[in-house]
A = this chain, B = another copy of it.
Amino acid sequence: MADAGDYRILHEAALRDYLAGISDLKALLGGEPAAWEITEVGDGNLNLVFIVKGTRGGVAVKQALPYVRLVGESWPLPLSRAHYEYLALSKQAQLAPGLVPALLHHNETLALTVMELLEPHIIMRKGMVAATQYPGFVDDITTFMARTLFFTSDLALSAAEKKQGIAAFAGNHALCKITEDLIFTDPYRIAEQNRWTAPYLDRLAAGLRDDMELHVAISRLKLKFMASPEALLHGDLHTGSIMVTESQTRVIDPEFAFYGPMGFDVGAVLANLLMAYFASAGHERTPGERQAFESWVLETVEQVWNEFARKFLDLWRAGATGDAYPASLFAGEKGAACLEAERQAYMQRLFTDTVGFAAAKTLRRIFGLAHNIDFELIEDPRRRAISEARAVRLARAMMVEAGAFPNISDVTGAARKLRDWQPEFANG
């Protein structure tokens, strides 16, 4: 892991020298180092990200800063997150080849990783604001989730391997703490960093702070997040962590990786699709112009869950080499039938978790510190607030009435019904 003593921030000139000194990268980039085009593009909250282009090729360079970039040096954050990101990325590359950027170089001391330059991929969230459909997305993201989650779970690993994995990521607690605070705690209490679309959402924000049923629900989810190491999670799987073309998908930035509850990753994807759906009305310039996109989004929500569940179950049926549900206890026709019923029950429990975590991921984007451009780029604050209020209404129900959403179609059905729902302030 990065040793703070030898760490230094590599700005443009130093980065150029550093890359020039690594022969493989120099060859890949091509031409004279002095001529390489280096651009800082980090629009995330935590790190420096450079795109470097030579005469032959390009790379992306990510370096962790010893503090939260969004906030500054007053909020220190350990460089070791680069170690965990590298560890997770390596594991994901092995389990879901072609769905994460290729790793080219890693320097623990500098907390720096050099990766394949993804071109012409864009951040999926940006594409969705522009109403772009991604026909390959469902297949890719469900393969990514099914394989990374299944193969790091007790269904595929021995208990010893699993414990080893948990221990290997246990040190990434500072990143987990960000999630624990910003997703599971702060939006529900007075916190300096909270913000929302005022004044329209003032009442909803106050409601969030007073709603004890919601506080119990979010606290149960928080406890599950902290104490249910079911599988190696990406840990931050929103549409800003996914780069796409119409035919390709790459999952990036797993620095929040740790062993946690699977529903947190799956819920993140669903929540961000649902937010894109509710935001869509706010981006509409003429009625109905984004209808095809919106239908695609809700179909995608359904397919993400259904395909994820199908692939996960297929992996389980084909390769349950782990210590959980040992085959020897489910021999014969009756055993096979009972195990299959239990697999379905397992997925149902996972779906319930997913619904709750999706709700948590939604509310934090509307009332917490980190917002998303789906909503933020709606310029008219009243229209933005209307979109947000619809998302909040669904999320609140998903969090406290999980039983009302036994199937993914119950979620999309509720979303569809809220598409044109008008909150009180809409005409106020």
Q: Please, which residues of chain B bring their CB within 8 A of the CB of A218?
A: 329
Q: Per-residue 0/1 for A212-247: is the Cβ within 8 Å of any B Cβ (1 yes, 0 no)?
A: 110110111011001111100000000000000000
Q: Is the CB of A154 within 8 A of B227?
A: yes
The complex places the Cα of A130 from the Cα of B401 at a distance, in Å, of 53
Q: Please, which residues of chain B bring their CB within 8 A of the CB of A323?
A: 180, 222, 226
Q: Is the CB of B222 within 8 A of A324?
A: yes
Q: Is the CB of A162 within 8 A of B335?
A: no
Q: Per-residue 0/1 for A310-341: is the Cβ within 8 Å of any B Cβ (1 yes, 0 no)?
A: 00000000000001111011100011011101
Q: Per-residue 0/1 for A356-395: is the Cβ within 8 Å of any B Cβ (1 yes, 0 no)?
A: 0000000000000000000000000000000000000000
Q: Is the CB of A335 within 8 A of B163?
A: no
A9 at the interface (CB under 8 A from B): no
User: A329's closest neighbor in chain B, by CB?
Assistant: B215
Q: Please, which residues of chain B bring their CB within 8 A of the CB of A325?
A: 219, 223
Residue A173 contacts which of B159, B337, B341, B342 (CB distance < 8 angstroms)?
B159
Q: Is the CB of A324 within 8 A of B223?
A: yes
Q: Please, which residues of chain B bring their CB within 8 A of the CB of A230?
A: 227
Residue A212 contacts which of B212, B328, B335 (CB distance < 8 angstroms)?
B335
A189 at the interface (CB under 8 A from B): yes
Q: Please, which residues of chain B bring their CB within 8 A of the CB of A216?
A: 338-339, 341-342
The complex places the Cα of A227 from the Cα of B167 at a distance, in Å, of 13
Residue A170 contacts which of B164, B185, B213, B329 (CB distance < 8 angstroms)?
B164
Query: Smallest Cβ distance from A338 to chain B, in angstroms?
Result: 4
Residues of A255-292 contacting chain B, CB below 8 A: none
A160 at the interface (CB under 8 A from B): yes
Residue A163 contacts which of B159, B170, B219, B326 (CB distance < 8 angstroms)?
B170
Q: Please, which residues of chain B bring their CB within 8 A of the CB of A166?
A: 166-167, 170, 229
Q: Per-residue 0/1 for A46-76: is the Cβ within 8 Å of any B Cβ (1 yes, 0 no)?
A: 0000000000000000000000000000000
User: A324's closest neighbor in chain B, by CB?
Assistant: B223
Given A160-B173, A189-B329, A323-B180, residue A154 in contact with residue B226 (CB < 8 A): yes
A171 at the interface (CB under 8 A from B): yes
Q: Is the CB of A226 within 8 A of B162?
A: yes
User: A160's closest neighbor in chain B, by CB?
Assistant: B173
A174 at the interface (CB under 8 A from B): yes
A156 at the interface (CB under 8 A from B): no
A11 at the interface (CB under 8 A from B): no
Q: Please, which residues of chain B bring their CB within 8 A of the CB of A339?
A: 216
Residue A228 contacts which of B174, B212, B222, B228 (CB distance < 8 angstroms)?
B228
A176 at the interface (CB under 8 A from B): yes
A188 at the interface (CB under 8 A from B): yes
Q: Is the CB of B328 within 8 A of A162?
A: no
Query: Smallest Cβ distance from A270 to chain B, in angstroms?
Result: 23
Q: Is the CB of B154 within 8 A of A163?
A: no
Q: Please, which residues of chain B bring their CB within 8 A of the CB of A8?
A: none
User: A326's closest neighbor in chain B, by CB?
Assistant: B185
The complex places the Cα of A219 from the Cα of B338 at a distance, in Å, of 12
The complex places the Cα of A189 from the Cα of B163 at a distance, in Å, of 25
Query: Smallest Cβ distance from A396 to chain B, in angstroms?
Result: 15
- Chain A interface residues toward B at CB < 8 A: 154, 159-160, 162-164, 166-167, 170-171, 173-174, 176-177, 180, 185, 188-189, 212-213, 215-216, 218-220, 222-223, 226-230, 323-326, 328-330, 334-335, 337-339, 341-342
| Given A160-B173, A212-B330, A226-B323, 20 further pairs, Cβ under 8 A | A154-B223, A159-B176, A162-B227, A163-B173, A164-B170, A164-B173, A167-B167, A167-B171, A189-B326, A212-B334, A212-B335, A215-B329, A216-B338, A219-B324, A219-B325, A219-B326, A220-B342, A223-B324, A227-B324, A229-B229
Please list 25 pairs of residues, one from A and one from B, whose beta carbons are closer than 8 Å in the complex, sorted by A's number. Answer: A154-B227, A159-B177, A159-B180, A159-B226, A160-B177, A162-B226, A163-B170, A166-B166, A166-B167, A166-B170, A166-B229, A167-B167, A185-B329, A189-B328, A189-B329, A212-B338, A213-B338, A215-B329, A215-B338, A216-B338, A216-B342, A222-B323, A222-B324, A227-B230, A227-B324
